[in-house]
Amino acid sequence: MNVIALIATFNHAVLLEKCLQYLDRLDPQFDKYIFFENNSTDETLDLIKRFNHPKELIRLYFRPDLIKVAGNPHEGIGWARQILLDRARRLNPDYAIFIDDDIAIFYEAFIDQITSHHKDVVGGAYLRDFREGRLIASKWKRKGMKGIWYKKACMGFQECYVTSAGCLCLSRKIIQDRRVNFMPIIWNTEQKASEDFGYCIRAANAGYKIYLDCTFRLGHMQNAMVSPNKPWHLKEDGKGYIDFSFP
């Protein structure tokens, strides 16, 4: 079985270093790591170069005012994920797993576990600070009720409405399905969605089910302060991130 990792990163050396330390411990390992990097000015590139596993590096410079020009806060990461998805389509693996540079994977058998369900879209559960509180970065629908909801905790393997691409496992089938993409961002008068929630919405519209695996631990290194545009952004001094994990 061929499984690749897709990692978008930009000026997050402090977080990326910890993320890669955990990835280095995985057994089995990914067949290849694909990094997308946006002209970082810190030690991000050096960390990627020193990472001693089969890898590729995609570099692209985004204009500093991209979010302002695009009119939504998800344009940059949306393009990063789309370019990584396009690369996965060309490589045609059995599975491709998106992992954000602020995610810590504690479970060494992570790859075997998240692919063992043989589903097309499976997220890994981790906590994130939202305006509503510290909640799992996924949403559910409640029977007989309108709207979608976050949860504080989850157990086992279950279906959800949308999940985050911070940890997102995709099968070959959906990777090669050209109907399901991160771009363009769903951002109009009727509906607004982040690039990853929008991907899940498109997947559901194409007939796929979205699942969340809550059976293993994921840490999330993030700033305790929630920003309206960059909820995982570090403070200027490079400090202020904390490690969230399930008990």
Tens of pLDDT along 5-45?
999 998 888 889 999 999 999 999 999 999 999 888 889 99
Token reading at 168: 């997102």
Mean pLDDT score of the chain, rounded to an integer? 87
Cβ distance 136 to 84 under 8 Å? no
Q: What is the largest CA-CA distance in the chain?
A: 52
For residue 237, the model assigns a pLDDT of 42
- pLDDT band per the 50, 70, 90 thresholds, residue 137: very high
- pTM for the whole structure: 0.88
Q: What pLDDT is recorded for position 242?
A: 34
Q: Pick 3-244's CATH classification: 3.20.20.20, 3.40.50.150, 3.90.550.10, 3.40.50.300.
A: 3.90.550.10
Above 80 in pLDDT, residue 167? yes
Distance from C-alpha of 159 to C-alpha of 122, rounded to nearest angstrom: 9
What pLDDT sits at residue 80?
A: 94
pLDDT for 66 equals 80
Neighbours of 196 (CB within 10 A): 24
pLDDT band, very low/low/confident/very high, at 68 (cuts 50, 70, 90): confident
pLDDT digits (tens, 9 = 90+) for 69-127: 888 888 889 999 999 999 999 999 999 999 999 999 999 999 999 999 999 999 999 99
Lowest mean pLDDT among 47-61, 156-170, 182-196, 217-231: 217-231
Q: Long-range contacts: 229-237, Cβ < 8 Å, 24+?
A: 229/67, 229/73, 230/73, 231/128, 231/129, 231/130, 232/100, 232/102, 232/128, 234/12, 234/14, 234/15
Residue scoring higher pLDDT (148 or 156): 156
pLDDT of residue 222: 65
Residue type, 162: V
Q: In terms of DSSP bridges, do strands 133-136 and 241-244 run parallel, antiparallel, or are they unpaired?
A: unpaired
- Describe the strand order of the beta sheet including 157-160 as a list of residue ranges: 55-59, 32-37, 3-9, 95-99, 167-171, 121-124, 210-213, 157-160
Single-letter code of the amino acid located at 59: R
